[in-house]
Amino acid sequence: MSDRQDRWQAAEHLALTLADGGLQRMAARTLAVFLFADQQSVTAGEIAERLDASAGSVSAAVKSLLSVGLIERLPAPGSRREHYRLRDDAWATLFTSQNTVIQVMLQAAQTGIDTTPADDPAHRRLTQMRDFYHFLLSEIPALLERWQQHQQSSPH
């Protein structure tokens, strides 16, 4: 198998892993194209060709990745096609957007706490859940700051 085939097989494997982790399948495959592309930016047409997918499904995947901040639209002077690239801060942006999920979990735990008596084992478990997500949420800013410092100090 050629290096190029190995590369795209690894990309498809990563896409399956991302899909298993909750990302929609086409968004996962599209993200894999951004991660494994050997050029700085790609067009939706290039993604569709690489994935042998319809323009509509790629367009929806690109919109999804744009909306969560993983990719960005680039100016492409002289080109009539939109160009996109993976954002440099994609993973920190995605992690930050997970705060919404944490907030939902906190609220769900609090609702459960509010509806159970203090001596109920469910109350204790829900309190532990709430406390965990509260702790996690409070740690995110410092974690992201350490990540930025790490990025600035490590050679790329």
Each residue's pLDDT tens digit, 115-136: 999 999 999 999 999 999 999 9
* Closest C-alpha among 86, 84, 82 to residue 70: 86
Is-contact 8 49, C-beta < 8 A? no
Q: Residue 102 corresponds to which amino acid?
A: I
pLDDT at residue number 109: 95
What's the token pair of residue 91? 């993973």
Neighbour tally for 154: CB within 10 Å? 7
* Closest C-alpha among 71, 61, 67, 60 to residue 37: 71
Contact partners, residue 81, CB within 8 Å, separation at least 6: 43, 44, 45
Global pTM reads 0.73
Neighbour tally for 105: CB within 10 Å? 17
Give the burial string for 43-56 (b: 16+ CB within 10 Å, else e). bbebbbebbebeee
Q: Which residues of the chain have pLDDT under 70?
A: 1, 98, 156
Contact partners, residue 131, CB within 8 Å, separation at least 6: none
pLDDT at residue number 78: 82
- Placement of tokens 């744009």 in the chain: 66
